[in-house]
Structure 1
Amino acid sequence: MLLNYQQIKEKAGRIRKYHATLPNKREETIIAQKTKKSSSDKAKKIQWHPAFYAAAELELKENIEELDLISEYHLSKEPVRIDLLIIKEENADKVMKNEIGHIMRKYNVLEYKGPGDELSIDTLYKTLGYACLYKGYGKTTNEIPAEELTVSLFREAYPKELFLELKRKGYTLEEKYPGIYYVGGNILFPVQIVVISRLSRVMHSSLRILSANADIEDIRKFLEQTENMKTPRERNNIDAVLQASVSANYEIYQKVRRANGMCEALRELMKDEIEQDVARGEARGEARGIIDTCYDLGLKEDAILERLQKKLNISLKTAQEYLKTFGKQMI
């Protein structure tokens, strides 16, 4: 994880350096487009969907024992799959506790669009089509009643074009809860569109941190809310959400993990980085001691650099950095 971040950071550094030498606006535009594409490509490579499945479980944890959550549900032998299918068990509560689940009935089709993915009118029709196919593939006639089906679509950003198109077609949109819009009108099944960035921070932190630009307060809220979740299922879901979120927001998580009270899940996830930081701290302490001793002995800088390289098994460049940092303090 750290290696990937450094590679991306170095690559971005090269782009910025090259950008500074460009002679005209056309080339500046090209570089800006490449930089934007690089960020977009990075977000697309992150495995957002498994993290979404985990976040969905965390969101619905109060009713989780009454639900069957089936990811990438195959509608047929062909590669047509529902992102997430949620089936309520027979003895489940009629209304789920989490507000995202209030619209849900026995069979619930969920479509998730990760950061950078489009949510259009075609996406809505495709998902309605999945719901129709799911009903049609029942083992017996009307095994899956239409009145027991719902459709939910999730996306981080506000789908302005989709909402305009729905209104143009005569559908209504009601923001039932912050970020949760019910689609009304002549539509096959109850439909809700969940705009993740507008969800309540307090109630939906597990979804809100599934972002390429996560807010540090959302991260802190998620870590706070999941600190006491200890079951294997909960810990696996927390890890899945964090892996995607950390990959997309590494610098922010570095700030969070250095703060007091870092949670166990984040500490375990970033264990390698923490150990590297500790090792670097120990090396810096040793370097300072060596430099101090060398100055007491009256050694010249070349001799100090040689001793640093030999004692700490470091490069000349690193030794020079240590001498620059600590040497002036000792003079």
Structure 2
Amino acid sequence: MSKKNAGYSPAFAAALRIELEEVRKIKVRRIEEGIYYLEGDPVPMQLLIPPRLSPENNYWMQHLRGNLKRGNEIEELMKRYEEHSHSRWYQAAMDLIIRANWENVKEEKNMCEALRELFADELRESEEKGLAAGAEKQIISVVCKKLGKNKGVSEISEALEEPEEKIRLICEAAADYAPDYDVDKIYDKLKEGENRK
């Protein structure tokens, strides 16, 4: 892989080092190729330059980028992941890598069966979450229309055959967005409230 294609620029690296050492008074200490400790700041920092990392020692970190090539590179990544798919650390790394390279992964014409199997559960779960979110947004939309017609919580609950508590929470969240009612923002606010519990 050429350094230019990976977005690595020796000039940028030199300018960054000058900025850190001379302006910010932060010492840059090389640990190994592509890994540097930045010392002298109250917050400990590490600088990673993925194109400079050794593939042998830093296979997974080297792939934490958004320009994986279709074909062998993605297939090799899948094979290596399969060996560690039980580990939540590898799952987290793979999730980041796949998200950063979604277009290439999605467009991969010869996507190996292993990839489909590895992500079948996640894809099914994402689809189910999407359907559930769509259904919730539909309920929110209808509640907002009824609020626009000055209907009360009990009346809306009865009409939609939904629990009164659920309708009350939607109405409370919707109040901040009246009279135009942004369904997506109301949904996000409700999800945010659920996550706090």
Q: How high is the TM-score relative to the length of structure 2? A: 0.40
Larger radius of gyration between Structure 1 and Structure 2: 1
Q: How high is the TM-score relative to the length of structure 1? A: 0.27
Structure having the higher helix fraction is 2
Structure having the higher strand fraction is 1
